[in-house]
Structure 1
Amino acid sequence: MNAEPNHLQEVQVEGPQPLVRDIPKGEDYPVEALGVLREAVEAVEDKTQAPVAIAAQSALSIASLAVQGFADVETLGGTAPSSLFCLTIARSGERKTGCDKLLMAGLRDFEDQRAVDYACTLADAEREIKLYEAQETKLIRAASGAGGKAVEARADLKAMMRRPELPLSPNRTATDPTFEGLVKLYALGHPSLGLFTDEGGGFFGGHAMNGENRLKTCAGLSGLWDGTPINRTRAGDGASTLRGRRLASHMMAQPVAVRPLLADPIANGQGFLARFLICEPESNIGRRTRVGYNPESDAVLARFSAKLSGYLGAQMPLREGTRNQLEPAILKMSESAKGLLWEYYQETERAQRPGDKFCHVTPYASKSAEQAARIAAVQTLWASTEANTVSVAVMADAITLARFYLSEVVRLANAAVVSEKIDRAETLRRWLLNSWAEDIVLPSQILNRGPNALRETHKIKEALKILESYGWVVPLPVGVVVNGKSRKLAYRIIRE
């Protein structure tokens, strides 16, 4: 084999390498499939100009909280709660909180009013308990003696009324995102709760999901999604079981907080994340330039809030003899709805075969038919909690939504897991290419004018080192003159 002389060889310098795998653009959110929730979602989109998917996630989860206590839903494998877990991935500034605030207004008003009532009844209950305990102590002391008075005291003890109880906590949403906090609230409060946070990064990266608690949190929340009883063990009180509890959830978090979890063996091995409806909508930042909104949107959201408050205040079915153990009705599927769901199940099942499109997201694909049934239940019950059947039209819409969420998981799972350091470096790379007009940059210029995530010198130097290793910047010799001054550290930007 003949080789060309070295002086004739053409040397090609390899260009910059990507830091992260580009995530393909997702499908448009099928807002037309939201049915009875569509009007409210479009009103939120109109007022906030946020991605419609964020408003849809909020509406589905809030509606689930409102109706999950009334009925479980028939699925292809038995029954399941009509509870939905939603996870929205979006960067800061996407107006996630604004969407939630508009749709949760009725919930917050309801909780505020119930808190006032609770304060009054709590004080009365505490006085009754003190009187009960004083009377009980007096009778026990008398009963421990002898003679006729002791016999009479024992009879009075047996005749005493049941010990007064504290009123149930009026909260419908959890403020403590740990599983222990949820269990405590279930024991002392309403059996239908919501776990809502626009700071999902604090949950996924906090105490509830640290190395020590991750398994317990994933298992506990998965059990609540499944509707299984909660086994509760407390020091001094022994073990007890909490039955008939339901949980709806909407967590909103930034990509860097969630993507590592998509590859976490515990979160995925137990199917924890597969219980969530996950989406990462395309950003609207920079395009929200419309002035004003349709005044009818306020009327739509007022009707949504009124309906939400009405459902929250209605009596949910409880097991006889209990005050906070749900005994939901069963929402059946019509035969045509069931047939449609079977077709969807078979479609997703076949696509999980090796090499097929769902083979790498089998936990999600395996639950997609059940997710469709749950979505259909929420839509049906939001229309009327007296409903007893899911129609084929509602099931068709629910399958459309379930199919969208499954496509989102496929899209996101194909992306590389991004560490926090790589995410900062990618942020800097985009800023240098899109916002910095010069070919040379100094760390001090990035500190003063760069992205907010890079307002610390050590983070800037770290990000520049990463960009250097990937070929996006080249360090200039020490002492190079930039803007009339000798510089210890300066970089030339490679723009492909």
Structure 2
Amino acid sequence: MIDIEDKIRDSEYARPEPLPLTGEVIPPQDFPVSSLGRVIGGAVTAISRKVQVPVALAANSVLSACSLAVQPHANVILPTGQDRPISLFLVTVANSGDRKSTADEIATDEIARFQRELQEEHAGREVELFAKKLAWDTAKAEALTHSKKKGRDAVEQALLDLGPRPSDPMTPVMTVRVGTTQGLIKQFETARPSLGLMSDEGGSWLGGYGLSEDNRLFTVSTLSDLWDGKPVQRLTGSEGVTSLYGRRLTFHMMIQPVLAGRLLGDIEFKGQGFLSRLLVTQPISLAGTRFVDPTAPVDPTIAEDIAAFNQRLANVIRAPLPIDQDTRALRPKRLPLSHNAQQLWWSFANEMEERIADGKDLEDVRGFATKLPEQAARIAAVLAVFQFGLRTEAIEDDFMACGISVARYYLSEAVRLIGVASPNPILVDAQIVSDWLRKSWTENLISIGAIQRLGPAPMRKRSADQVRDIIAALVRHDHLSDRLPNGGMVSGKKVREAWRVQVRHA
């Protein structure tokens, strides 16, 4: 005989409507790819089509490559009179399987190629440099031997005649994936004064030593100083204070959504102003829609547009660095805004100022919006210098308009993403389990063991206590019933603890 209470519990009428586990995601705006110009915009569209990734994802990778290429060559002079770097700090939020690594590899292919060339050249000069140093050391010993008896002045003159000891060439490094902030500063001592901290596995950076509890504020303040163009400093007991001027850094981290809250929702990062320096995008994934017709002809413009971008990128990154040979500090060209560009900039800056007031729509992203006019000028300068190189004498109004257009896109993303609370990892896991129950689980009851053995892959690594916490969240949100007092049959086995599934099957 069927228990009437069981019958009621099994009925659709008795099921409460499950509550959302996470906040509603506002869809992003379209990236204004037309504002990037023919070469850069063409590359973004081509990579997006070739790899089948969102346009915004491809845009962040392409812009990071452009930023790294042009940052040593120019500063932009804001209408306020400030001399600012044109480096960009970008963050791309995308799931594993969204092909972010492939898109990034295509966008930065010429940078990787040039770095390999530098490494080969450096290796070929090691023997020659060793011989020069040995010859100098021998000459120094001989000079001191012959001049010691003639007094201090003779020794000093002998050393002056000898000249400085041959110095090591710059370490052939252009990009750094992960590592400590101290290590990054050390690279700035020995490598090129223009570097990129760029990784398609940003989780390694987020979970690394540099962002541990003891080092996170130093890391964030150092990165902020590099964005500002300030000298970077390192203090050690053995070497004292090292202060390095004229260094530039492009930053691009690609992270998964489950980790994004650890960066974008961090109160300390926001308080330090680091989040205000980041241009963040989290496009909607195309997974599940990337079908291919193998019989369709390949569009030749895709390869042509990527090749055009690569040719321009190769030319820019191979241009001689404007560098002080003694200090290895960059001496970038100063680019002012034209009169019309300044008018556009001031109009945009005043708009941002009005909208950050208490009660206005940008109050919650006030720090980001305050820096956005500078971001717009940096983007405009990157576009202009990449297209015209050092022939650029000023940022014209058409480039300034494009910079503002792109900056508005990142503002819309900041409103969606930056400063939101860090997602509760239990709720994230609960959403994964709920989706699996709806799509794949056909039974009415579920147990801890079934979730561990048969559930989605991440759950197979969770302990029984962790799964119990996930189930508790699902119960609170009415995705599962309260625990049944007498257990039940789950996957052919009698279990002491069972919960009734209350999400409707897809």
Alignment match of 1:63 (pick from 48, 52, 66): 66
Question: Gapped runs of 5+ residues in structure 2?
Answer: 1-13
- Preserved CA contact (<8 Å) 2:48 2:55: yes
* 1:76 and 2:76 matched: no
Distance 2:492 2:107 in 1: 56
- Could you report, residue by residue, the CA deviation over 1:28-79 in whole angstroms, capped at 9, with x for unpaired residues? 2222222241100011011111111110000111101001111111223322
- Could you report, residue by residue, the CA deviation over 1:388-443 in whole angstroms, capped at 9, with x for unpaired residues? 12221221121111111111111124744213222112222222223434432334
> 1:116 — aligned with what?
120
Distance 2:426 2:141 in 1: 63
State the 1:346 CA deviation: 1.1
Q: After the TM superposition, which residues 127-206 of structure 1 pair with which residues of structure 2 at under 5 Å, given as runs?
A: 127-140=131-144, 143-144=147-148, 146=149, 148=150, 155-206=157-208
Deviates more, 1:392-401 or 1:419-428: 419-428
Distance 1:409 1:70 in 2: 29
State the 1:312 CA deviation: 1.3
> 1:40 — aligned with what?
43
Aligned-partner residue type, residue 440 of structure 1: L
Distance 1:483 1:422, change over 3 A: closer
> 1:306 — aligned with what?
311
Distance 1:484 1:87, change over 3 A: closer
State the 1:122 CA deviation: 2.5
Deviates more, 1:30-39 or 1:376-385: 30-39
* 1:208 and 2:215 matched: no
> 1:264 — aligned with what?
266
Distance 2:153 2:195 in 1: 47
3-state SS, counterpart of residue 363 of structure 2: coil
- Could you report, residue by residue, the CA deviation over 1:296-326 in whole angstroms, capped at 9, with x for unpaired residues? 312322222222122111112223x536211
- Could you report, residue by residue, the CA deviation over 1:123-170 in whole angstroms, capped at 9, with x for unpaired residues? 3213322332343345445555x4x59986664333212111011111
> 1:5 — aligned with what?
none
State the 1:369 CA deviation: 0.7
3-state SS, counterpart of residue 240 of structure 1: strand
Distance 1:416 1:132 in 2: 61
- Preserved CA contact (<8 Å) 1:22 1:415: no
RMSD: 2.2
Distance 1:377 1:216, change over 3 A: same
Distance 1:228 1:50 in 2: 36
* 1:92 and 2:96 matched: yes
Alignment match of 1:334 (pick from 334, 338, 354): 338
Distance 2:275 2:193 in 1: 23
Query: Aligned pair count?
Result: 482
State the 1:478 CA deviation: 4.0
Distance 1:249 1:481 in 2: 53
* 1:52 and 2:52 matched: no
> 1:388 — aligned with what?
393
Aligned-partner residue type, residue 42 of structure 2: E
Distance 1:234 1:478, change over 3 A: same
State the 1:444 CA deviation: 4.0
Distance 1:29 1:155 in 2: 64
State the 1:290 CA deviation: 2.8
> 1:31 — aligned with what?
33
Distance 2:219 2:373 in 1: 25
Alignment match of 1:107 (pick from 111, 117, 120): 111
> 1:468 — aligned with what?
475
Aligned-partner residue type, residue 230 of structure 1: V
TM-score (norm 1): 0.91
- Preserved CA contact (<8 Å) 1:443 1:457: no
Aligned-partner residue type, residue 401 of structure 1: V
* 1:425 and 2:430 matched: yes
Deviates more, 1:128-137 or 1:41-50: 128-137
3-state SS, counterpart of residue 244 of structure 1: coil
> 1:349 — aligned with what?
353
Alignment match of 1:450 (pick from 433, 451, 455): 455
- Preserved CA contact (<8 Å) 1:62 1:104: yes
- Preserved CA contact (<8 Å) 2:85 2:228: yes
Aligned-partner residue type, residue 465 of structure 1: A
- Preserved CA contact (<8 Å) 2:176 2:197: yes
> 1:494 — aligned with what?
502
Question: Gapped runs of 5+ residues in structure 1?
Answer: 1-11
Distance 1:41 1:421, change over 3 A: same
- Could you report, residue by residue, the CA deviation over 1:254-278 in whole angstroms, capped at 9, with x for unpaired residues? 1222213323232111211110101
- Preserved CA contact (<8 Å) 1:334 1:390: yes
Q: State percent identity of aligned pairs.
A: 33
Distance 1:444 1:381 in 2: 59
> 1:434 — aligned with what?
439
Distance 1:414 1:207 in 2: 24
- Preserved CA contact (<8 Å) 1:23 1:415: no
TM-score (norm 2): 0.89
Distance 1:473 1:182, change over 3 A: same
